[in-house]
Amino acid sequence: MPANLTPQYYKAEEIFKKAASAEEKISALEEMLAVIPKHKGTEKMRADLKKRLSKLREESLKKAKAGRTDPFVIKKQGAGQAILLGFPNTGKSSLLTTMTKARPKIAEYPFTTTLPLAGMMVYQDIMIQLVDTPPMTEEFVPEGLPGALRNADAILILVDAGSDDCLEQLQNCYNYLKDKNIISEAAADDPPGKMADRCLVLATKADAANSSENANILRELGPPGLETILVSAETGLGLEIMRERIYEILKVIRVYTKVPGKAPDMKTPFILKQGSTVLGLAEAIHRDLPQLMKNVRIWGSARYEGQSVNRDYILSDRDIVEINQ
C-alpha cells in the first residue's frame, strides 16, 4: 500500500537529516511522527520512527545524567586530598580560609556550609588539597559525604576545643566513620598517629578558654590510637605540626629529577607512593621511559652521592634521580 507522505512530513524529514544535536533530532522525529498519515501503508514506518525516537531519548537522558556534576565528587589535586569532617561551627571553613586561598562563608551560626569546597594548602615545596564540607550531627549526615570521606587520602576530624561537647563530637564522628566502614577500628595499643590509617583529630579554637584541658580530655578519653593536635585558625597555633602530620598520613614521597650534567629541578618534584621504585618513577615521567632508561644515579638516600642503582631501587622522600637513556 502506498505511504502517501505529505509535504509536512518531507519537511520534517529534511530537518531530521540536517540535525546536528540529539535534541534537534528528537524534535524532528516527533514532528515526523505527528504529521505522518496514519494508515496501514505507514504502519511499518511509524513503528520504525517510534523505535528511533525512544533510542535517542534514552541516549540523551544517559548523557544528561553523566554530565550532571555531583558536588561531593571532588577531583583530587596535588600530593593528596585531606577532607575536613566535623559538627557545625567547629571551624572547618575557618581552617580552609587560613590554610588556602579558598574563601568559604564563615559565620558564628551553625550549618553555614552547605556544599564541599576545595582549596590548596602549601606544604614546603608541594600542595595538599583540603576539602571543607557541610557539617554532620548525630542525627544528620549530608548525602554524598560518606562517598567523599571514603575517597579522601586523609580525614581531619575537627572538634571545638572551646566547647565542653568536644569529646561527644569526636566520639560521634569516629563512630560514624567506623560504622560506615570508612575507617578501620584502631587497636588499643596503636601508637598515636598510627590509628585508623588516615585520621587526625584537630581540636580547634585553641585560643578559647579551657581548650588545653579539653584537648587533654580528648587524648585521654577519646578513641585509642588517635592523634589530637590543638590548633587555632585565629592565632596559627598548631598549624605547622598539623601540615606535617597530614603530609605523613598521605604516605607519599617527593622525588626530584635531574638531567645528566645539569642541576636538579628542585621546583617540581614527582609525587609517588611510599615504597615506589626507580621503575615507578620512570613510568610516572613517561610511559616509554622504562624501556629506554639505562644508567640511573641517586643523590640522597643512596650510600654515596651519585650512586648507580638498578630499577628496583626503592626511593626515599627528597631523593634526586638522574636517568640516563
Ligand X SMILES: Nc1nc2c(ncn2[C@@H]2O[C@H](COP(=O)(O)OP(=O)(O)OP(=O)(O)O)[C@@H](O)[C@H]2O)c(=O)[nH]1
CB atoms closer than 10 angstroms to residue 116: 21
CA–CA distance, 132 with 180 (Å, rounded to integer) = 20
Residues 194-233, mask of contacts with ligand X (x by CB under 6 A) = ----------xx-xx-----------------------xx
Cell numbers standing for residue 271: 609525587
* In 68-165, alpha helices (H): 92-99, 145-151
Q: For residue 86, state whether it binds ligand X (rule: CB under 6 A).
A: yes
Interface stretch with ligand X, choices 14-22, 60-68, 107-115, 139-147 (CB under 6 A)? 107-115
Rg (the chain; Cα; Å) = 29
Among 12, 26, 83, 91, binds ligand X (CB under 6 A): 91
Among 100, 113, 129, 228, binds Mg ion (CB under 5 A): 113
CA–CA distance, 244 with 239 (Å, rounded to integer) = 9
Beta strands in 104-150 (DSSP E): 117-123, 126-132
CA–CA distance, 275 with 323 (Å, rounded to integer) = 19
- By C-beta, is 86 or 280 nearer to ligand X? 86
Q: For residue 204, state whether it binds Mg ion (rule: CB under 5 A).
A: no
Among 112, 151, 277, 316, binds Mg ion (CB under 5 A): 112
Amino acid residing at 41? G
- By C-beta, is 92 or 198 nearer to ligand X? 92
Task: Give the nearest distance from C-beta 242 to ligand X in angstroms.
Answer: 12
* In 180-286, alpha helices (H): 211-221, 239-250, 278-285
Interface stretch with ligand X, choices 109-117, 263-271, 286-294, 311-319 (CB under 6 A)? 109-117
Name the nearest CA neighbour of 223 among 157, 134, 138: 157
Task: Using CB under 6 A, count the residues that bind ligand X.
Answer: 23
232 binds, among Mg ion, ligand X, none (CB under 5 to 8 A by kind): ligand X
Q: For residue 93, state whether it binds Mg ion (rule: CB under 5 A).
A: yes
**Sequence-distant (≥ 6) Cβ neighbours of residue 82 within 8 angstroms:** 121, 128, 129, 130, 131, 152, 153, 154, 155, 156, 246, 249, 250
Q: For residue 254, state whether it binds ligand X (rule: CB under 6 A).
A: no
Task: Give the nearest distance from C-beta 158 to Mg ion in angstroms.
Answer: 10
Task: Give the nearest distance from C-beta 135 to Mg ion in angstroms.
Answer: 7
Among 81, 113, 172, 214, binds ligand X (CB under 6 A): 113
Chain residues 133-192 in contact with ligand X, contact rule CB under 6 A: 135
**Sequence-distant (≥ 6) Cβ neighbours of residue 315 within 8 angstroms:** 253, 255, 272, 276, 277, 278, 280, 281, 298, 301, 321
- Strand pairing report for 252-258 and 265-273: antiparallel
- Strand pairing report for 199-204 and 154-160: parallel
Task: Give the nearest distance from C-beta 116 to Mg ion in angstroms.
Answer: 10
Among 61, 107, 115, 122, binds ligand X (CB under 6 A): 107
10 binds, among Mg ion, ligand X, none (CB under 5 to 8 A by kind): none
Tell me which residues touch Mg ion (CB under 5 A). 92-93, 112-113
Tell me which residues touch ligand X (CB under 6 A). 86, 88-94, 106-108, 110-113, 135, 204-205, 207-208, 232-234
